[in-house]
Amino acid sequence: MSVDIQWYPGHMAKTKRELKEILPVIDVVLEVRDARIPAASHNTDLAEITARRPVITILTKADLAEEEATNAWIRYLEAQGLPAAAVDLRTGRGLKVLERKIRRQHQLIGERLRQRGRQARGLRGLVVGVPNVGKSTLINRLADRSAAKTGALPGVTRGKQWIRVGSWLQLLDVPGVLWPKFETPQTGFYLAVTGAISPDVFDYVRVSAALAEYLLSRRPQALKDRYNLGSVPGDGMEILAAIAKRRGFLLTGGSVDVEKAALLLLKEFREGLLGRFTLDLPPDF
């Protein structure tokens, strides 16, 4: 089942303009991507804007992605000359590795300043990424306090926030930014099922049905086990109907509530209750 999704609200265009204005005072860019979709959550528009600054790529939600695939992505990014780290923001796993990479950039910039006869100073970092990828949660983890606004839905951060992390680092948190048109329907689908796109702008039943068909092709046993299905139908809508029946989601008159099943499948997939999934696999994986 194919779904075509596009979402580019006005505040994102405004944020892009503001990023161009703020970039001259930025030393390093921290690009946050979702470890389940490292390619789909890479905003090429932002890459063009920040091209003259060193970039550290951070794969968040590593606890929801397949570990072997995440490690392969890190190797691939490092081979492209991009320092990269995978982090689990719930447990803090990977944060020490990330902090070492940020401190390395601080050291390099300090050396360049001293060579020019200027005094070394604290590092100024810009945190960018698609909506709901965990930028503010990452900053709070690094700052070891609740300094940036966080939320479970895309679009929580609506203005710029400077956050001080100790005496050596300041981070600028900006709203999540997508790009005007997704290159393929697959990109929009991946962003939707992982929660980067507002649920108000796509047909969640069709997206959930497409997700059901994806899971059937990748890991049918996960569907069977989670929803106690003896057999799994081949059509996404039929899978949602089977889930609704098993969970007792019934409408007046006894028909199954497919919409409720669709919301359940999306929620439990995003929470990792069907297992760890990497939708974007790295090249040559």
Which of 173, 194, 212 is a domain's end point?
173
From 82, 27, 30, 36, select the one nearest 58 (Cα to Cα): 30
Clarify whether residues 112 and 232 are in a common domain: no
Clarify whether residues 215 and 167 are in a common domain: no
Q: What is the DSSP string of 233-277?
A: -SSHHHHHHHHHHHHT-B-TTS-B-HHHHHHHHHHHHHTTTT---
Q: CB–CB of 67/36 below 8 Å? A: no
Clarify whether residues 147 and 221 are in a common domain: no
Query: What is the pTM for the complete model shown?
Result: 0.87
Around Cβ 245, how many Cβ atoms within 10 Å? Answer: 15
Clarify whether residues 144 and 33 are in a common domain: yes
Q: In the block, which residue shows the tokens 């990828």?
A: 133
Give the model's pLDDT for residue 156: 38
Rg (CA), the chain: 21
For residue 193, being part of any structural domain is answered with no
* Paired tokens of 204: 């969640």
Clarify whether residues 28 and 164 are in a common domain: yes
Give the model's pLDDT for residue 68: 97
Which of 173, 194, 213 is a domain's end point?
173
CATH code of the domain in which 115 resides = 3.40.50.300
Q: CB–CB of 123/168 below 8 Å? A: yes
CATH code of the domain in which 232 resides = 1.10.1580.10
- Which residue range(s) make up the domain with 210? 203-270
Give the model's pLDDT for residue 151: 40
Q: Averaged in consecutive runs of 10 residues, what is the pLDDT profile of the chain (285 residues)?
A: 56 70 89 96 81 92 97 96 95 95 88 79 88 90 65 44 84 74 83 89 93 96 95 92 96 94 97 97 85
Give the model's pLDDT for residue 178: 64
Q: What is the DSSP string of 159-201?
A: S-EEEEETTTEEEEE------SS-SSHHHHHHHHHTT-S-GGG
Give the span between the Cα atoms of 206 and 216, in whole angstroms: 15
For residue 191, being part of any structural domain is answered with no
Give the model's pLDDT for residue 6: 55
